[in-house]
Structure 1
Amino acid sequence: MPASAPEAPAPALPRPLIGWRLLALFYDLWPALALWMLASLCFTLGYTIAGHHDPHENIAPLSVLQWALWATCWLLAGLYAVISWRRGGQTLGMRPWRLRVVGADGRPPSWQALCARYAVGTLSLLAAGLGFWWAWIDRDRLAWHDRASGTRMVRNPKP
């Protein structure tokens, strides 16, 4: 049996530019917004059915219910992102730009890494997007959430 020559390592997939990341984030805003609207509807209907206020009035600002709604919306967006990343490495917004989330070793990331990615990504956005802009000056083009979670975003080649 002839000895086979060692296979050449596959070329590393290129790191996506910050513009593609931001476009994917903008695309993902729309499914998240739909989930937030459903959550808001459920909260408003539940509050109205319980007889706490007229349906034409807004929920009182800074109430416990409003904080619960914010937390629910954050969790729904997180579920959408983490489940999408875990199942195929992509959210709906990442598909047109051929972006994919992988572990630092190139394998699918763990649930814990993806949850950390979402949490640090949220903090990054709350800091006026500083964690995303960081990818411009990072030598590996990694954002804060990439570094913190041990994940990478790569751009798939054209089919």
Structure 2
Amino acid sequence: MTTDLPAPGVFRRLAAIVYDCFLLFAILFVASLIPALLLSPEIMSNDAANNSVVHELNSPLQGSLYRFYLVSLIFIFYGWFWRKSGQTLGMQAWRIKLESSSGDQPSWSQCLIRLVVAIPSLGLAGLGYWWIWLDRDGLAWHDRASNTRLRSIPKAAKK
């Protein structure tokens, strides 16, 4: 348990998000490329480059099913990291760890609530993050909603 460690500040949290966005972008790019290649055979043909403009090609990657696919991948990305070790790669780089308020690993439902509430928390000009400065426990909106908290991990002592 790391409940005695301090909560990270807003800027460390946002820096970890930026790190994670780079990795998540790459994952979503590959995840979009695979069905695009499988569902659009004209992309692979030589005639497509000569006879069509790229924006005129049929795009199978539209609609609710595709959006659900991408949102599911985002949830799996964060949920897997949070459930496995309490840290995404960005959180590891910035020495931040997620735990439930009891100090255990967060549950899948806590991960889902955290992710759903984090979207407006960041999307409303970051108000959910700036709230950390007003909250007595240093918690963001999604921390409160999901009954989780972030903790700063101290640097390891050099030998």
1:35 aligns with 2:32: no
Which residue of the partner structure matches residue 6 of structure 1? none
| Offset at residue 58 of structure 1 (A) | 5.9
What are the ranges of 5 or more consecutive residues in structure 1 without an aligned counterpart?
Answer: 1-9
Aligned to 2:33, the other structure's residue is in SS state helix
Alignment size in residue pairs: 148
Q: Is the CA contact 1:48–1:55 (under 8 Å) kept in the aligned structure 2?
A: no
Aligned to 1:100, the other structure's residue is in SS state strand
Mapped to 2, the partners of 1:28 and 1:126 lie a distance apart of 16
Query: TM-score, with normalisation over the residues of structure 1?
Result: 0.80
Which residue of the partner structure matches residue 10 of structure 2? 18
Mapped to 1, the partners of 2:83 and 2:141 lie a distance apart of 19
Q: Which has the larger displacement, 66-75 or 93-102?
A: 66-75
- After TM superposition, list the pairs within 5 Å mapping 1:77-96 onto structure 2: 77-96=74-93
Give the aligned CA root-mean-square deviation in angstroms.
2.7
Q: Is the CA contact 1:99–1:156 (under 8 Å) kept in the aligned structure 2?
A: yes
| Offset at residue 158 of structure 1 (A) | 1.7
Distance 1:49 1:148, change over 3 A: same
Query: TM-score, with normalisation over the residues of structure 2?
Result: 0.80
| Offset at residue 30 of structure 1 (A) | 0.9
Mapped to 2, the partners of 1:11 and 1:42 lie a distance apart of 42
Mapped to 1, the partners of 2:61 and 2:139 lie a distance apart of 37
